[in-house]
A and B are shown apart, each in its own frame.
Chain A
Amino acid sequence: MTDLRAALVLEDGSVWTGPGFGAPGRVAGEVVFNTGMVGYPESITDPSYHGQILCQTYPLIGNYGVDPGRFESSRPRIQGYLVAELCRIPSHRTSKLTLDDWLRQNGVPGLQGIDTRALTKRLRVKGVMPGVLEVSDKEPDLEQLRALAKRVPDLQARDLVAEVTTPELKIYNASSRRTVVLLDCGVKESIIRCLVRRKLRVVRMPAQSSAPQVMAFSPAGVVISNGPGDPQKCRKTIETAGALMRARLPLFGICLGNQILALAAGGRTYKLKFGHRGQNQPCLEVGTKRCFITSQNHGYAVDTDSLPSEWRPWFVNANDRTNEGLLHRSGLFSSVQFHPEAAPGPTDTEFLFDAFLERLP
């Protein structure tokens, strides 16, 4: 294989070059960073990253190769990958292929050898921004990339959920008696695993499904999953959530699901400067002294003040006080901004699935 060159140009004109890896090609996307130190295969396959170029702040990536058994969806979802140092000789009994080979086979370009901390600081100060990444066997044409970086189509304009939701209905644990419907906005497999492990029959439906379509399965409850992009774009899902609430069906939202519930309740959401992506976000359970370490991946947040009075914040981020979950007075509807299914990240809040289960009739 010939040596690949790579360049990333951000909208602000800054240029980051180094050796390329993965697949040659040119991609555009929103550049974001994740501070997790483990779990790159999980992150890369998380559909919430759809449309984004991901930068890892931990410098050594690829150390234990790639184990498809740990994927959060069938394939990489990121547009491009940015690391300080790529490991070419992984070491782990579960590794089936190298990170480099995997990304190449899946058409994802990668850039290594850059100062990922400097890039992260830039994103932190200026906010996440679009960028163009090119990997090729020739020196990239920086002028051209610079021009392109200024004209990256706005992700907010796209209905990203529609691009990652399941096209057809899927049923897991078909023989179980209790059913939950999972509205798939780009769901991570681990959410399904957590539900299946609790002996639930899981009906995974496209995000655009209507309330009657959901009700047709007579579910005991509904889970609204994580997913990419601006929650306000998920008009259909918000509508469905609203209808389900009126039908007093127990709801549990995760990540994007938290935002959708807030919007369905009449609240507002807004874009964070650079989001929360990592495995160390502390979330306080409001009204208690309990604090949980959570896994997160989101760029938008719920404006707590905008919520009607029958809702209250359930969790709040101990660092920046942003909303991390909602609870309806009835106890029927709840949601969290973080990922109780973990993968990657700490498993401390997996008990929330049990709590949801307990609320089911």
Chain B
Amino acid sequence: MSKPRKVLLLGSGALKIGEAGEFDYSGSQAIKALKEEGVKVILVNPNIATIQTSEEMADRVYFLPVTADFVEKVIIREKPDSLLLSFGGQTALNCGVDLWRSGVLKKRRVQVLGTPVETIENTEDRKLFYKKLREIKLKTPRGRAVRSVEEGLQTAAAVGYPVMTRVAYALGGRGSGICATPQELRAGLSRAFTYAPQVLVEEYLAGWKEVEYEVVRDRADNCITVCNMENFDPMGIHTGESIVIAPSQTLTNSEYHGLRAVAIQAIRHLGIVGECNIQFALNPADGDYRIIEVNARLSRSSALASKATGYPLAFVAAKLALGHTLPELPNSITRVTSACFEPALDYLVVKIPRWDLKKFARVSKKIGSEMKSVGEVMAIGRSFEEAIQKAARMLQVGMYGLVCNRNYSFRNLEKELAQPTDERLFGIAEALKKGMTVERIRELTRIDRWFLDKIRNIVELERHLNGRELKDIPTGLLRKAKQKGFSDKQLAILTGADEEAVRDRRQKLNIKPVVKQIDTLAAEYPAKTNYLYLTYNGSEDDVAFEPVGRKVLVLGSGSYSIGSSVEFDWCCVSAARALRRLGYSVLMVNYNPETVSTDYDICDRLYFDELSFETVRDIYEKEDPLGLVLSMGGQIPNNLAPKCRRAGLRVLGTPPEKIDAAENRRTFSKLLDELGVDQPPWRELRSVGEAEEFAGRIGYPVLVRPSYVLSGSAMGVVFDRRDLRRYLRQASRVSPEYPVVISQFILNAKEVEMDAVAEKGRVVVSAIVEHVENAGVHSGDATMVLPPQRLYIETIRKIRDTGRRIAAALDISGPFNIQFIAKDNEIKVIECNLRASRSFPFVSKVSGVNFINLAVRALLGRPVSCRRSTLDLNYVGVKAPQFSFSRLKGADPTLGVEMASTGEVACLGRDVQEAFLKAILAVGFRLPQKNILVSVGGEAPKHRFLESARMLRTMDYNLFATENTSAFLKKNGVDNERLFKVHERRKPNIKDHLLRGEIHLVISIPDPATKKEFDSYATLRRMAVDYSVPLLTNLQIAELFVQALAAKKPEDLEIKAWDEYR
């Protein structure tokens, strides 16, 4: 190996189910490790919201798709000597393997650092993997990798049903599943083979424990396991869908170290250099084991293990890839001991996945071997009960802990336990409450009774406390409740007191949490670590709280979920950096193990703990900071504003009462009226009758938003009175207690946003972002263009002016975002957030003006100014959403007012077409070869699409269409072939065409002006997703796509680094 001088690092692209923020963490650490050694880093990652693509990180950033074609062009241009492909998830790994196979790496003399590609193939190819392990007599499940359905059926017959199927070269359990019968297997395999040519069919290890080890190996063959983790949920539930505990709790010394020894043996034999993850099944009945898989790269589990132990796995892996050995590297926490060691924890962590399934009406809530979760939380405690209750609250799905949750009921508890959904954990607590025995629950769930007993402790404590007067609770019992993770709110619910009273009481009794360090060595060596958590299971703080005046407490964004993702982490990290540059010391609070903000070198103190008001206040009282920053982490910290105000906590920037005023629909609307700013007519209504009357008056369609009762209560667009009635009756969405808000839904309008920073009410900088899709597609799902290309100057002027007036009226100091609807040169305001918005990284990076740096100065009341224009750019940035519909079986992949995307990318180009094409390629879109299926709902949309259809024909595409679209196109002289819908059961049928791979693109556009359309279209779109056929569902997007296709060839797309545009 020659010493690398210039390294190409591949990122993971947009966040998607199975591949999320953890790869921003690993990539960022790799960059840090490389730059420390003076190695030049070129990064390819279209995910503009990541920290790794920020200015201070890589030497050069390409916002381009992580695919072999694009990366090859970057290689030709940059001539790197080395490639790192294990820091960007499956995306980077697969891209690297492609480049290697096609000979590009050899031809261009690029060496792969770290684990050799042969080893990667031996782990990703399930057949080779089993072969390698069997060579050294390590145990794998009975079964084999097959390449056809027939072969699979034969294997299953030999193994015996039920069988497990798993796909090669995938992650997140993509395409995997349990098959109980040959029919199920046939169906399962057909789907699986659309992902990869090879599928594993093997014995189903029902009820076995799932255990993981994170293993690190260097080129001198030193090999350590940094962390082991035990899944609460047994085999069959993907580790990414399981509650995970580190370290393992129910393994004996011989099991723990026995598996550890097997792990090391396997990793040495495979020849990994760097970091990897190995998964085991462990039979609780006899201690037998099976190796399930090795992921020869950084993974979600390694991010979790890093945060769980304080051992910087990605950083170390990068150093090892450069050729260092473990003993040469220092432990970055103690700085005096070696990195060649295995952390000893004196606490435990509990990870719970964060699902967002309620956002998708038709999706099954069942969890299994395929990932559906979109994020995760990690809680640290010194008792299991403490950690799991914290984690339950961290999910921010309306839970106060494991118990005391109102509005919670299960229709069929036994079924919930045996066939788990995302709510099983709460089902277990409920079952124990109802008197089900631990033994029975164990039978149904196959969860180790150790965990169930701990949950029972919580349930019993709840019973014990329930109905008592607060003042009658003995000190010891109150302390115990806190030690078992009960929040003040839970105790308030149980005692009928209010939360404040509970806090007062425990403060009086001196029941307060202590702050402990995570030091990797269980206090054996003095550690300079600033990585902290709170616990009630302790008697002294590990750190002192010096009364320095320049401390700022920044609240992070919590778990990733639909609507809150890496962009807020970017805001938080950027804010922390800006604050530190200005000489402030930063205290960060966050609990999301997939983030960079929870890297302890980002801030002066990291509190890896809850973002609840209780915890934030506990930290605030200990630290006594200058103030809180609530405006960087999205809605979770923003929501604390009213409580901070009431309790008198200092909040930096816009006064909390103003945040309240903007959040509250009524006060905000009044303010707009006073300012003479237009808004769509709306009203808060308390009965079906009132609602009908109002909707009738303003005219349909209308937008209905139920009150926020429990998460998941979705808003919707209704098109007539019957529809409205049905919507409101369903789950009694309207009542005097829980009114609904109805607003006029404006059709055929553009949506525009303004991201801005103001200081004491004066706008310092703003960016106006144009949506490609008409209003009605959630801004988080919209394709955004900066600078705007199709707005009237007049509209821009009005937007700026309105922004200015709102900023002044709300006395804004800091970041804010306003959403507008623009139609015929008139604008209406739909929403205003006095915090950084999702698009801040996009506007900052495209315009070259870091909005967060300015916002931080504004928060601190320092002079701010910005001369650069965000409008006058000679290039265009386009941000495109990433959907994860293929993971969400059953979901209708259309766009609406509820957000559905899980991530985003953004690319730059000479014009909007070029940037758009790059962006959609970056979210996995494949350009059609020949055949396009078109199905456009509604008269007007059909007419609008006509021009595009003609262009497609001119470009020589074959068009297929459904009944009415086909007739319409024919009538207008556009050649096409009619295909029958699936349910029409006639040939030529869409289904056969899709199955045979004869359709290369589906354009299926629901009629925006009518109510619910027919299921047959949903089926069509769903099939496209299930068979991995590219799909467009929005008229404006389809138009832009056709224009772009006509204007650009893929090979013409410009390969240019970010800095070359500016």
Interface residues of chain A, those whose CB is within 8 Å of chain B, are 33, 35-39, 41-42, 57-60, 63-64, 67, 70, 84-85, 87, 89-94, 114-118, 120-121, 124, 274, 278-282, 284, 288-291, 293, 318-320, 342-348
Task: Mark each residue of chain B from 518 to 548: 1 if its CB lies under 8 Å from any CB of chain A, else 0.
Answer: 0001111110000000000111101000000
Asked if B661 is at the interface (CB within 8 A of a chain A CB), the reply is no
Partner pick for B341 among A57, A63, A318, A347, CB 8 A cutoff: A318
Q: Output the nearest chain A residue to B456 by Cβ-Cβ distance.
A: A89
Cβ–Cβ contact B383 & A60, under 8 A: yes
Q: Output the nearest chain A residue to B252 by Cβ-Cβ distance.
A: A64
Asked if B342 is at the interface (CB within 8 A of a chain A CB), the reply is yes
Partner pick for B253 among A42, A85, A280, CB 8 A cutoff: A42
Main secondary structure of the interface of B (DSSP, over half): loop
Cβ–Cβ contact A36 & B344, under 8 A: yes
Cβ–Cβ contact A37 & B344, under 8 A: yes
Q: How far is the CA of A38 from the CA of B539 in the complex (A)?
A: 24
B523 CB, nearest partner CB in chain A, Å: 4
Q: List 28 A-B contacts (CB under 8 A).
A: A35-B344, A35-B522, A38-B251, A38-B257, A58-B346, A64-B252, A89-B449, A91-B449, A92-B250, A115-B538, A120-B523, A124-B524, A124-B525, A278-B522, A280-B342, A280-B344, A281-B341, A282-B327, A290-B220, A290-B221, A291-B222, A291-B326, A318-B338, A320-B337, A343-B254, A345-B253, A347-B260, A348-B261
A89 cross-chain contacts in B, Cβ below 8 A: 449-450, 453
Partner pick for B264 among A70, A278, A284, A348, CB 8 A cutoff: A348
A120 cross-chain contacts in B, Cβ below 8 A: 346, 522-524
Asked if B242 is at the interface (CB within 8 A of a chain A CB), the reply is no
Q: A58-B522, A85-B383, A290-B221 known; A318 and B337 CB under 8 Å?
A: yes
Q: How far is the CA of A119 from the CA of B221 in the complex (A)?
A: 37
Residues B469-501 near A (CB distance < 8 A): none
Partner pick for A118 among B448, B521, B539, CB 8 A cutoff: B539
A87 cross-chain contacts in B, Cβ below 8 A: 450
Q: How far is the CA of A58 from the CA of B538 in the complex (A)?
A: 13
Q: How far is the CA of A118 from the CA of B250 in the complex (A)?
A: 25
Cβ–Cβ contact B344 & A278, under 8 A: yes
Asked if B949 is at the interface (CB within 8 A of a chain A CB), the reply is no
Q: How far is the CA of A343 from the CA of B252 in the complex (A)?
A: 11
Asked if B1019 is at the interface (CB within 8 A of a chain A CB), the reply is no
A9 CB, nearest partner CB in chain B, Å: 15
Partner pick for B542 among A41, A117, A284, A290, CB 8 A cutoff: A117
Asked if B340 is at the interface (CB within 8 A of a chain A CB), the reply is yes
B233 CB, nearest partner CB in chain A, Å: 16
Q: Output the nearest chain A residue to B223 by Cβ-Cβ distance.
A: A348
Q: How far is the CA of A121 from the CA of B539 in the complex (A)?
A: 12
Cβ–Cβ contact A117 & B252, under 8 A: no
Task: Mark each residue of chain B from 533 to 570: 1 if its CB lies under 8 Å from any CB of chain A, else 0.
Answer: 00001111010000000000000000000000000000
* 5 additional A-B residue pairs with CB within 8 Å, beyond A33-B524, A38-B247, A280-B521: A59-B348, A70-B254, A91-B448, A282-B327, A319-B525
Partner pick for A346 among B260, B284, B450, B453, CB 8 A cutoff: B260
Cβ–Cβ contact B341 & A319, under 8 A: yes
Asked if B249 is at the interface (CB within 8 A of a chain A CB), the reply is yes
Cβ–Cβ contact A116 & B383, under 8 A: no
A54 CB, nearest partner CB in chain B, Å: 14
Q: How far is the CA of A279 from the CA of B525 in the complex (A)?
A: 15
B286 cross-chain contacts in A, Cβ below 8 A: 93
B914 CB, nearest partner CB in chain A, Å: 50
Cβ–Cβ contact B253 & A59, under 8 A: no
Q: How far is the CA of A117 from the CA of B521 in the complex (A)?
A: 11
Q: How far is the CA of A33 from the CA of B346 in the complex (A)?
A: 12
Partner pick for A85 among B251, B325, B450, B537, CB 8 A cutoff: B537
A124 cross-chain contacts in B, Cβ below 8 A: 523-526
B481 CB, nearest partner CB in chain A, Å: 15
Q: How far is the CA of A84 from the CA of B483 in the complex (A)?
A: 12
Q: How far is the CA of A121 from the CA of B261 in the complex (A)?
A: 31
B799 CB, nearest partner CB in chain A, Å: 56
Q: A37-B345, A57-B344, A118-B539 known; A289 and B325 CB under 8 Å?
A: yes
Q: Output the nearest chain B residue to A94 by Cβ-Cβ distance.
A: B252
Task: Mark each residue of chain B from 319 to 347: 1 if its CB lies under 8 Å from any CB of chain A, else 0.
Answer: 00000011100000000111011111111
Asked if B382 is at the interface (CB within 8 A of a chain A CB), the reply is yes
Cβ–Cβ contact B340 & A318, under 8 A: yes
Q: Output the nearest chain A residue to B457 by Cβ-Cβ distance.
A: A89
B523 cross-chain contacts in A, Cβ below 8 A: 33, 57, 117, 120-121, 124
Partner pick for B538 among A118, A290, A343, CB 8 A cutoff: A118
Cβ–Cβ contact B344 & A344, under 8 A: no
Cβ–Cβ contact B327 & A284, under 8 A: yes
Q: Output the nearest chain B residue to A16 by Cβ-Cβ distance.
A: B539
